[in-house]
Structure 1
């Protein structure tokens, strides 16, 4: 079965998806809705066989389309999935986050209960080769993870169409917009749900001198977040978005009674300074407690995949998995519940940082509950 995508939104991330879909056997793009003229022109160059349409509804109704990809601004995702459900509920790959307003959690619960086709939430970081290697090896290397740390030292938010990503009302806040990826990793690695979140965050450096419609951006650029899980695992996120001079962008470490495993992930190769030579190669380091002796493993990524996007090949592997869902009827590896929990942790972190209080996720109205489908 050929995958014929209908794509909703083709800005910077949408175009990365286009480049990766072109690498998937038996996949093509049948239709695109992108309202910005410049982005639409760039998308047409990448997918010359696709029809450019004028609405979400037109893409969903296009008879050639067999699956859908949502890559619109964050605050549009939920309403667009609801519109799709009312027209023609095809399999969907939806970019994160699923929703941005805590009050919209019941709408997501209703969608999850009623949508008859599979929905895969785009959590690309799971599929970065060094991260996937850490996830696979961590139980043995650590003897059971007790502490998990994720550090991202990266560049500021990039410019997006209409500067939508400069304001919390559109993004859900940095700890939802950017960091739901990391909270998804935490929950995946923990193998259970979070119970408490505490955070300190703010806007220290970035975007302070920018004005859009007379308004100053309110998006945060640094944070510490601690998440406690049901099984006693403690996880911490350290985020800094004015540290693009670092050699590695992400550093993830998992520690248990037998040892430590960590992975080091470089940022997008297009940002690496040419005068420094070749970009860094991702690494996984296994450090047993006894006998001591760290083992360093290079985990190179296929150059063709690196050229197709900014996420170390993960977008390609994600589309491979989504293809198995559409063609073979497999269950999405990243479910609506997974995506919901990732957003809920981010919302709890936003709330904790804003109020100075610990947030109990077992009581938060925007988190999944037993009545809303707590179980898979």
Structure 2
């Protein structure tokens, strides 16, 4: 099914839903491009304090109103939904401000929060917020990973071991270099890896009970200085998670491996066999002299009869052009639009967002202390 067919299928209502975006840096602009692909949605208001990023955002959303503050954006009467794409440490105060001023349906970028001290505030918001909230764990919607999620139980007979490997490029520059410091991001195992902890819970279909990690900063950003400070953000690590079901999962992260053919490799194994998803990185980073970028694959390897079966899972070129996440941002917005239209519920809940951050914070703590952390 191509992108146009997907758009038509996703357009449930007849009225155009009007979105306000809070934060329009690199990821915010990916959200803008993907919302523009939806037939029944458009961005009508933007808050972005950086002048250069604001100009780029307004070019992507012609006719949208630029707002000087979040409060000004929330005062616009003709809004149906909000998308929060601000730096991580601003998510909780912005959610609280929205709850006070204008409780609309929200899609909030990951991570939901960045430090354990914020959990009580998030739980208070969760208990009282009257509108739906979707946490942006878009890796669920990468086509090869979605195929693995759909087939994992049948292919494995029940997942007992799950391995997620991400070998990728370093953190990209962001406005004000906010992503170079743990105090703003929650740390790499929260900022980057909450996606993978979310996938672990989905694939294993159980809850984590113990986290062990070893991680650090070996290569990236060590020669950078911002306002007299050297970045403290980690660039590699291993995390092992034990689940209540007895299953085990491992994350292997390396952020100085952009020469890899695939960026994410997910492997789930059970008594009946194995299923793998291979996901390439952003096509814009693939060297032109190497020809066409790799195509995502899913490989099913039964134990009996032996013999791996590999299937390519191509992604619509229009969706690849709209962002760096293999079309997943579009598929996420397609489903969120149905929530805004009142015909569906969030698939990635606040509880999911909390669970992923708890696992990331436990991994950060384990790596710092050298001790396993019970959840």
Corresponding residue of 1:230: 244
- Using the TM superposition, give the Cα deviation of residue 310 of structure 1 relative to its aligned residue in structure 2, in angstroms: 0.0
Structure 1 gaps of 5+ residues are 362-376
* C-alpha distance in structure 1 between counterparts of 2:343 and 2:309, whole Å: 39
Corresponding residue of 1:49: 63
Residue 123 (structure 2) pairs with residue 109 (structure 1) = yes
Corresponding residue of 1:206: 220
* C-alpha distance in structure 1 between counterparts of 2:206 and 2:250, whole Å: 16
Residue 86 (structure 2) pairs with residue 65 (structure 1) = no
Q: Deviations over 1:30-80 (max 9, x none)?
A: 100000000001001000110000111111121111100000000000100
Corresponding residue of 1:333: 347
Q: Of residues 173, 180, 190 in structure 1, which corresponds to 2:204?
A: 190
* C-alpha distance in structure 2 between counterparts of 1:323 and 1:169, whole Å: 33
TM-score using structure 2 length: 0.96
* C-alpha distance in structure 1 between counterparts of 2:213 and 2:315, whole Å: 33
Number of residue pairs matched by the alignment: 361
Q: Of residues 301, 322, 325 in structure 2, which corresponds to 1:311?
A: 325
SS of the aligned residue for 2:150 comes to helix
Q: Deviations over 1:258-298 (max 9, x none)?
A: 10000100000000000000000000000011111100000
* C-alpha distance in structure 2 between counterparts of 1:190 and 1:60, whole Å: 39
* C-alpha distance in structure 1 between counterparts of 2:335 and 2:365, whole Å: 34
Of residues 170-179 and 187-196 in structure 1, the stretch that sits farther from structure 2 once superposed is 187-196
* C-alpha distance in structure 1 between counterparts of 2:70 and 2:332, whole Å: 23
Q: Deviations over 1:173-198 (max 9, x none)?
A: 00000000000000111222111000
Corresponding residue of 1:294: 308
Residue 261 (structure 2) pairs with residue 265 (structure 1) = no
- After the TM superposition, which residues 126-205 of structure 1 pair with which residues of structure 2 at under 5 Å, given as runs? 126-205=140-219
* C-alpha distance in structure 1 between counterparts of 2:151 and 2:76, whole Å: 44
* C-alpha distance in structure 1 between counterparts of 2:358 and 2:351, whole Å: 10
Q: Of residues 356, 361, 367 in structure 2, which corresponds to 1:347?
A: 361
* C-alpha distance in structure 2 between counterparts of 1:238 and 1:42, whole Å: 35
Corresponding residue of 2:5: none
- List structure 1 segments (4+ residues) > 6 angstroms apart after TM superposition: none
SS of the aligned residue for 2:172 comes to coil
Q: CA RMSD in A?
A: 0.6
Q: Is the 8 A contact 1:60 1:68 kept in 2?
A: no
- Using the TM superposition, give the Cα deviation of residue 354 of structure 1 relative to its aligned residue in structure 2, in angstroms: 0.3
Q: Deviations over 1:209-251 (max 9, x none)?
A: 0000110000000000001111111000000000000000000
SS of the aligned residue for 2:198 comes to helix
Corresponding residue of 2:7: none
Of residues 55-64 and 179-188 in structure 1, the stretch that sits farther from structure 2 once superposed is 55-64
Corresponding residue of 1:371: none
TM-score using structure 1 length: 0.95
